[in-house]
Amino acid sequence: MQRGVKSELPELGPGKGAQTSRGLRRRGLILKVAATLFAERGFDSVSINDIGTAAGITGPAIYRYFASKEELLVSIYEQLYRRSAEGAEAMLTEDLDDLAAMERLIDVQIAAAVEEPEKVRIVDREERHLPLKEAEQFRIQRRRLLGIWTDQLRRARPDLAREELDATVHAVLAMINSITLRRADEPPSAAVR
């Protein structure tokens, strides 16, 4: 390249590195590694350098894909909430009887707990590290999802009082999410799932 001639390539700044398929794969790897480390050691105990080392890059190279460690955490939340919302929306659009719809919601949550246990554990424990704006957005999403669960349970079990519906939904979700506490080398069998 000649001096004084601008490159046609876009300048990369914080969080701008995932503009190619290779960049998207690298971004996905960084998210996966960060989720594993945050779940194992806690958000406070993991540095950008720890994540970079585990991902096979330098710590500062992460800033090509994420502007900050907090942005990594937000991305983990976004992925898990998107998955839950898509599962709930799919259930709402299908022509299912009330019990089958409730079972579908349960299946979506079990799949998330089995397939992405790190993310479920992070969402259960690390909200205090989210930026305020994003934390509020996720609380709104969580309330919306809990409302879908409660409304569906009400249709399936009209005999339950509001307090019982709320307690049942929270108990079922806590029980399903406890699957994430299993050791990674002991994935649940199909029968357990």
Q: Coil, strand, or helix at residue 6? A: coil
Tokens of 113: 């707990």
Written in H, E and C, the secondary structure of 103-130 is HHHHHHHHHHHHHCHHHHHHHHHCHHHC
What pLDDT is stored for residue 137 in this prediction? 96
- Mean pLDDT of each 10-residue bin along the chain, 193 residues long: 41 57 90 96 96 94 94 96 94 92 94 93 94 96 96 96 96 93 65 60
Closest-CA residue to 74 (of 127, 144, 142): 127
Compute the distance between CA of residue 5 and CA of residue 24 in angstroms, rounded to an integer. Answer: 29
Write the CA distances from 184 to 31, 103, 188, 190, integer angstroms: 18, 26, 9, 15
pLDDT of residue 23: 83
pLDDT at site 181? 84
Cα 98 from Cα 14, distance rounded (Å) = 47
Interatomic CA distance for residues 41 and 37, integer angstroms: 6
Place of tokens 């894909």: 65
Distances (CA, A) of 20 to 65, 66, 74, 78, 133: 11, 15, 22, 21, 29
CA distance 76 to 97: 33
Backbone angles phi, psi at 47, to 5 degrees: -105, 165
pLDDT at 20: 81
E strand residue ranges, the chain: none
* Contact status, residue 60 vs residue 78, Cβ threshold 8 Å: no
C-alpha to C-alpha distance for 33 and 28, rounded to whole angstroms: 9
